[in-house]
Amino acid sequence: MVLNLWRRPATRVLLLGVLAALCVIGFMTVNVQTDWDFILEYRGNRLLALLLTAVAIGVSTVLFQTITHSRLLTPSLMGFDVLYVLVNTLALLVLGGGALAEWAPALRFALQVVLMVALALLLFRLLFSGSVRSLHLMILLGMLAGILFRELSALGARVLDPSEFGISTSVAQASFSRVNTELLGAAAMALVLGGLLLWRWWRCLDVLSLGRDIAINLGVAHGRVVLGIMAVIAVLVSVATVLVGPTLFFGLLIANLAYWFIGSQRHCWTLPASVLAGIICLVGGQLLLEHLLASTLPLALVIELAGGLLFIALLMRGVRQ
């Protein structure tokens, strides 16, 4: 009886939910010494940013792995995060910081998300149109794309004048421990928008994981749906990147933790589980490092190290098979 209950994905998601809630409560209450108003605003904003990040990266990684049929490929590994950084720099360069710097940050963000969606779809079409068949080649190409985008945006940043440069680095240098809370509202709006878009294809997701041929056989307009989902992913990646900057292995870590812990491939379980795993890693990790261990070790370092080890383990397993 208990064993049966334990095996159910619903029980496991609930368990993750409880754990995530404990992390959130701990994050807000541990070591509170000053007045509550300040804590609520300071920690509350950071908490909100971390939660939004967990949702954006958790959902976008699982979706990306569904449409690419891989447990190894993630948007950040394929260079999509850095693409957003590049878009951010390019927008300042092309439109001129003078005009753009005066725009409301939210409006600037919206413009960049639109640009990001267009470029991400283009990149996805280039990489996943069937011309690259080897997984390892794909990973290599993704990493190369990431390096290219990073160098390009660094080059672009050199040309910017100091005020524009300030705007551009706020994205490039954000991290888990230095979240960018300026755009919380806009990021939340974008997430809701992405969620609404995704709603249309919600029922197709499980079918898509059966592979292209079976999905088409079962009547899913495969090409269109995959591009639509890729657009949603691009929006989510923009949200995550504007909040915490580019990541590398974090998405891979939480998505695979979710698959492993849930033991089911259904998106109604894996998506929430991946988000909750993200919250536990980010909020719980921050709580542990900052307040309990009083360590100055950056959280990103710890998470990326764990994710990187997992990546190598997954790669090795893939090679052996």
Partner 1 sequence: MIETRGVSKRYGDVLVVDDVSLSIPRGGFTSIIGPNGAGKSTLLSMISRLTPMSAGSVQVDGMDVTRTPGNVLARRLSILRQDNQTSLRLTVRDLVAFGRFPHSGGRLTAEDLRHVDEAMDYLRLGDYRDRPIDELSGGQRQRAYVAMVMCQDTEYVLLDEPLNNIDMRFAVDMMQLLRRAADEKGKTVVVVLHDINFASCYSDHIIAMRQGRPAYQGSPQEIIRDEVLRDLYEMDIQVHEVNGQRVCTYYR
Name the residues that contact partner 1, by CB under 8 A: 69, 203, 206-207, 209-214, 216-222, 259, 263-265
Minimum CB separation of residue 265 from partner 1 in Å reads 5
Phi, then psi, of 277 in degrees rounded to 5: -60, -40
- Output 217 or 295, the one with its CB closest to partner 1: 217
- Output 206 or 290, the one with its CB closest to partner 1: 206
Minimum CB separation of residue 261 from partner 1 in Å reads 12
Which tokens is 166 given?
Answer: 């300030």
Residue 193: C-alpha distances to residues 8, 135, 186, 235 (Å): 31, 32, 10, 9
Q: Are 194 and 232 in contact (CB under 8 A)?
A: yes
> Cβ neighbours of residue 284 under 8 Å, at least 6 residues apart?
19, 20, 23, 26, 27
Which tokens is 54 given?
Answer: 């967990």
Give dist(CA 278, CA 53) in Å, integer: 8
- Output 118 or 218, the one with its CB closest to partner 1: 218
- Output 242 or 271, the one with its CB closest to partner 1: 271
Minimum CB separation of residue 217 from partner 1 in Å reads 5
- Output 72 or 86, the one with its CB closest to partner 1: 72
H helices present in the chain, as ranges:
2-7, 9-29, 36-68, 80-95, 97-100, 105-128, 135-159, 162-172, 184-199, 204-208, 212-217, 222-244, 250-262, 267-279, 285-286, 299-320
Minimum CB separation of residue 11 from partner 1 in Å reads 17
Minimum CB separation of residue 170 from partner 1 in Å reads 41
Minimum CB separation of residue 271 from partner 1 in Å reads 15
- Output 3 or 99, the one with its CB closest to partner 1: 3
Minimum CB separation of residue 129 from partner 1 in Å reads 12
SS3 55: helix
Residue 301: C-alpha distances to residues 48, 90, 249, 286 (Å): 21, 28, 10, 12
Minimum CB separation of residue 33 from partner 1 in Å reads 48
Give dist(CA 93, CA 261) in Å, integer: 45
DSSP tag of 175: -
Minimum CB separation of residue 321 from partner 1 in Å reads 9
Query: Nearest 5 degrees, angle CA 259-CA 60-CA 218?
Result: 75
- Output 69 or 125, the one with its CB closest to partner 1: 69
Give dist(CA 146, CA 92) in Å, integer: 20
- Output 212 or 291, the one with its CB closest to partner 1: 212
- Output 7 or 38, the one with its CB closest to partner 1: 7
